[in-house]
Amino acid sequence: MTGVTGVTGFDPDRVKCVVWDLDGTLWDEIAVESPTDYLPTPRPEMLAVIDALAARGVLSSLASRSAPAVLDRLTAVPELRERFLAPQVSWQDKSESLRRIAKDLGIAVEALVLVDDSPYERAEVEALLPGVRTLAPEDVPALLAAFEGREVTPESRERVNRYRTEETRRALGERFQGTREEFLRWCEMRLTLGAAVPDEVPRALELAARTHRLNSSGLSPERLRALAASDGHELYTARMADRFGAYGIIGAALVDRSTPGTWSVPLLALSCRVAGRGAAAAFLFWLMERARDAGAEEFRVTLRPTDANLEMRILLRQAGLRRTEDTGDAGAESAVLARTLHGDLPKPPDWLHVSTRESTRESARKDAEA
């Protein structure tokens, strides 16, 4: 198997989580052979890299072929437990552990990188999960170097904490006595939409580069930056919060208003963390309403179908958008979907409170004056 091992050609924008082996990787010894209940001492340089990655918004998890009791011992150590999300320690194949980690985190398995000292384990993952990059421990400095010099947004710095909040949210959802819709309503979900301000642009570029499941066109950050700064284009962002806390900026949309009577959306992108909660639909429907209020008669979205963005494609179809003969800006494989803005437009789910940034500011001003 070639093309996945090592850091050559490494694209850090695709990496959301690094999965670490334990024995011979995170520490030198074999934990299950320890004569006591104490864990081997982790390598300080590995912990430093894990912390440096977390500061850049990259999650860490564990996949070790060992006795499950090792995980119990590890989670009893706060400084280790807090570094790893969705850890897997069992005798199952590493490829299966990685699938479970991706599922638990709600990300594509291709967004994982495995660091493992065993050539056999790396080969097993490469064979069964060919989209996953695998590295040996000696590749770790180059892994970290690949992220150097990249802009770090506030959402990136808070990503690990927000995934931990998501673990709490998911656990409560599993125990909730009621329907999924009732749980979402109980969460008191709030979506705030508006034109992007300058300090939100880096996050919009990050969403363009790092989202795949809820990304309409795969427009590159460089192209997005250029279009957003050009005449006739507007960039919008979406923030989300619920009773557990703030998600931060979870969505970005670029609107092209250069054609009279038409609003075109070259990019609609949302974080996979909000998949299944109605945020993508609410953002799209709000853009349609805003377009109609501005006098537009037609609404268009550029779509580049991929294996990952089926959910976005279904949403666009449910919103009444149909393919035209036009070719989109994102490349030869993209198309434009369009619909009229006459008649009834779809509404966001009723469990999601949607407001504009302007109305939120006005409400806050009135509260301050009261």
Model confidence pLDDT, tens digit, residues 8-48: 667 888 899 999 999 999 999 988 887 667 889 999 999 99
If one counts every other C-beta atom within 10 angstroms of the C-beta of residue 195, the result is 13
Residues in CB range of 358: below 8 A, 6 or more apart:
194
If one counts every other C-beta atom within 10 angstroms of the C-beta of residue 120, the result is 9
Say how far apart CA 324 and CA 303 lie, in whole Å.
11
Residues in CB range of 82: below 8 A, 6 or more apart:
none
Q: Which residue has the tokens 């850890």?
A: 87
pTM for the model = 0.76
Nearest CA-CA partner of 263 in 225, 241, 286, 294 = 294
Say how far apart CA 195 and CA 171 lie, in whole Å.
34
For CATH 3.40.630.30, the residue range(s) in the chain are 179-369
Residues in CB range of 138: below 8 A, 6 or more apart:
none
Average predicted confidence (pLDDT) for the chain: 89
Which pLDDT score is estimated for 162?
A: 87
Superfamily of domain 12-145: HAD superfamily/HAD-like (3.40.50.1000)
1 pLDDT band, cuts 50/70/90, is very low
Per DSSP, what are the bridge partners of residue 303? 335
If one counts every other C-beta atom within 10 angstroms of the C-beta of residue 294, the result is 11
Superfamily of domain 179-369: Gcn5-related N-acetyltransferase (GNAT) (3.40.630.30)
pLDDT at 361 over 60: no
Cβ atoms of 157 and 57 closer than 8 Å? yes
362 pLDDT band, cuts 50/70/90, is very low
Backbone angles phi, psi at 142, to 5 degrees: -70, -35
| Full DSSP string of 87-136 | -EEESS-HHHHHHHHHHHHTS-GGGEEEE-S-HHHHHHHHHH-TTSEEE-
CA dihedral 275, 279, 285, 286 (to 10 degrees): -150
Which pLDDT score is estimated for 215?
A: 95
Range scoring the smallest mean pLDDT among 23-32, 147-156, 360-369: 360-369
For CATH 3.40.50.1000, the residue range(s) in the chain are 12-145
Tokens of 8: 């050559």
pLDDT at 60 over 50: yes
